[in-house]
Amino acid sequence: MRLKETLAAAAGQLNGLMAQSKSHHNPEKIVNPVMPALLRRVAAEGAVLLENRVLPLEKGTRVSLFGRGQQDYFYTGYGSGGDVNAPYTVSPLEGLRGCEDLLVNEDLAAVYGDWIRDNAEKESGWGAWPRFHPEMPVTAPLVERAAENSDQAVIVLGRASGEDRENVLEPGSYYLTDGEKQMLAAVTARFPDAVLLLNIGAMIDLNFLKDYSFGAVMILWQGGMESGNAAADLLCGRAVPCGHLTDTAAKDYRSYPSADCFGNPNANEYREDIYVGYRWFETFHPEDVLYPLGYGLSYTDFSVTIRHTAPLEFRAEVVNTGKFPGKEAVMLFVQKPSGPLGNPARELSAFGKTGLLAPGQRQELTLKVTEYQLSSYDDSGITGHKSCYVLQGGAYRFYCGRNVRDAAFVGDYVVPALRVFRQMTEACAPEKAFPVWANQAGEPVRRMAPARTANRKQRILEDLPEDIPMTGDRGILLKDVKEGRTSMDAFLAQLDLGELEAISRGAYTMGNPLGARGNAGVFGGVTESLRKKGIPPITTTDGPSGIRLYDSCSLLPMGTLLACTFDTGLVEELYRAVGEEMKKRGSDVLLAPGMNIHRNPLCGRNFEYFSEDPYLTGRMAAAVVKGIQSQGVSACVKHFACNNQEVNRTNNDSIVSERALREIYLKGFEICLKLAKPITLMTSYNKINGIWSHYNFELVQTIARKEWGYGGLVMTDWWMRYAPSPEFPELTGNGYRVRARVNLLMPGSRRLTDIWHRPDGTLLATFGKPGGITLGEMQETARQVLNCVMKLKL
């Protein structure tokens, strides 16, 4: 191919992969018949009511909508996780127009419509999306005319979120713009009971709420294609808010414990250690909190009575004592003995959610805890038991309530003396000691997170898989293994070196012709010889806010909204419907859920993730996986691990203590992998303590496979950083990756613009040489890929 043609092809591929075409060829208004009502319900139940003295609005209320977001709404975040070709979207204005109980001030809506058309946002490229939409200037005469024609003002204020960039400490991102302040001042001066709806993808500075008079404030988040209908249901009372914050809203950004160690493009030391979010605030600085984790109001009232029914079991009787039907979440927190390790003042250990309770109706919830949840990891040996989960002696005090701040003492569990719960293996420890915060009698003190002592090279060598002697093609098909007529070893013995290389990667490109149009990539039967052996191609699609394909697919609420429901059953039901849609659209693997911790409110991809809490994160992710995989397709849990920053994400190093890694950043993955058994798992782009995740043997093999018992396929995020192995310098790229037990390079090419569609040579370069890749390693990689293929297609 001539150079000009090559460059043109590369540019076309790059443009096509970064954003899906919106001119899809079969735009259906409904992809799955159950989706509209289900999405509407989920979007409403994840909304969080912060303040209220006027909602729900009375039937017949005339409403004036202010704010560009009434028509120019952020339905989800930008990037691969939200770039779904939705069959339709419903704005707040459209939702209110469809509500029989409320009347819209159409004159004001027309003014906004004309202004928005004249001030349309320009199309933007990858990572350069708008953070907000500039507001129309709101004059006193405009507000006065609105007051003459309506009873109630509703203001919609929006913020975008997006992949591959962070939110910033600037007006229009974390803070209000002057135009937004002017609008709020003008509207609330005439409408002192104005309702503020926050259409945001991540936590913003909420201190401005005290500067204006609001009758109610509700976070709608980004609710997907049914956002506007959900908003109308909440305003008129057809839906009752029951969402609860999954993150702490601090009074000042500088109060967040990660504020000083976030955003460095090269490396960030996680100096807050295990004291992330509410763990920090409830332990050291409760006065810095505006709204605590779990906070959320309702239109109705509930009473909660707790009984301590077994050593580690509690039962909560929830009674609707108000005037409206509603749902309520109950949360159980533990305060562990501080002991020599030091522990947070509160840790979420269980939660439950009622069904819809009519006034006077009651429901009992059972909240159970395990001793493993009560244990703490000793990475230094300060308890005398290095690399162990230990139960420190003393009383484990439990607190129950509707958020972390109002939780009351309900009982304790006494451990007479320190004992080892489980011996572990040092893994993924930092290369050098660095300072972290610890709890000493309720005061934050500095300690040094210990450096690694384990010999990584020796650990790898002791775990090399044995070779299976190659036999050549014996006519065995993969279905023969599936149906029990022969062994997987016999099938693997047939594969030659070229086939072993091919099965360890995808088919090179996104939008691959072997899969549904617009797919993220294909793996498995990527060559003719593999397909002749009965290995079909497996199609992956981006998520989690729906299925990213050329065809229209349902656009879901963002991950944080889902977690705010505190309803794992509802989330599982939603993703069961997504699984059905995947089968219809030709997706075998949805690259979801995203489940990294909300370490800092500025992380651009927080909208995809669930919470600052690992337990809640793990339970929600497990619900997503169970829902998808109930339909015979696969979830792909991501990004494993510590993908807590988007700036320079492919090179950034997350420097974290082994204790914080295990108790915070890996805990959600551990919960999800054990509860839901996802068929596939995706590594993150970043380094963890100096080692890229896609080369991290201890992360994948020592922890995920050996400690947690994970038996699924591990793939890279799309493309990887090529580098030599520190332990085996002769290995680089795919050789290094396979030795780390990461089974699959996706989408298969060396880089995004690679159009040559041929192996890069790094897997087989050292085969047969001292220290080089072994036949057994390649065969073990193939085994994991083939197991996945059999589960999904045979």
- The first and second tokens of residue 731, run together, are 């290995």
The three state secondary structure string of 83-132 is: CCCCCCCCCHHHHHHCCCCEEECHHHHHHHHHHHHHCCCCCCCCCCCCCC
- The first and second tokens of residue 618, run together, are 């793990």
- The first and second tokens of residue 174, run together, are 């974390």
- The answer to whether residues 520 and 591 touch, using CB atoms and an 8 Å cutoff, is yes
- The answer to whether residues 228 and 36 touch, using CB atoms and an 8 Å cutoff, is no
Question: Which value, to the nearest 10 degrees, does the dihedral of the CA atoms of residues 608, 612, 618, 620 take?
Answer: -50
Q: For helices 568-585 and 614-629, give the axis angle rounded to 10 degrees.
A: 40
How many alpha carbons fall within 13 Å on the CB side of residue 638?
28
Q: Using only C-alpha atoms, what is the Rg of the chain?
A: 27
Q: How far apart are CA 17 and CA 480, in angstroms?
A: 37
- The answer to whether residues 76 and 558 touch, using CB atoms and an 8 Å cutoff, is yes
Q: How buried is 197 (Cβ within 10 angstroms: 0-12 exposed, 13-18 middle, 19+ buried)?
A: buried
Q: In what order do the strands lie in the sheet with 537-542?
A: 521-524, 537-542, 589-591, 634-640, 680-683, 713-715
User: Who contacts 117 (Cβ-Cβ below 8 Å, separation ≥6)?
Assistant: none
Which SS3 state, helix, strand or coil, does residue 568 take? helix
- 717 catalytic? Reply is yes
- The first and second tokens of residue 381, run together, are 């040996």
Q: 528-566 burial string, b = 16+ CB within 10 Å, else e?
A: eebeebbbbbbbbbbbbbbbbbbbbbbbbbbbbbbbbbb
What residue has token string 């890694």? 661
List for the chain the helix, strand, coil content (%; round to 5).
Answer: 30, 20, 50
- The answer to whether residues 653 and 695 touch, using CB atoms and an 8 Å cutoff, is no
- The first and second tokens of residue 780, run together, are 């073990």
- The answer to whether residues 579 and 628 touch, using CB atoms and an 8 Å cutoff, is yes
- The answer to whether residues 585 and 255 touch, using CB atoms and an 8 Å cutoff, is no
Where are the extended beta strands (E) located within 149-266? Answer: 152-158, 194-199, 214-219, 249-250
Query: Given 164, 378, 717, 760, which residue is catalytic?
Result: 717
Nearest to 84 by CA among 608, 673, 459: 608
Region of 176 on the Ramachandran plot (φ > 0 left; ψ -120 to 50 alpha; else beta): beta
Q: How far apart are CA 765 and CA 218, in angstroms?
A: 58
Q: How far apart are CA 148 and CA 338, in angstroms?
A: 61
Q: How far apart are CA 331 and CA 316, in angstroms?
A: 10
Instruction: Please list the active-site residues.
Output: 717
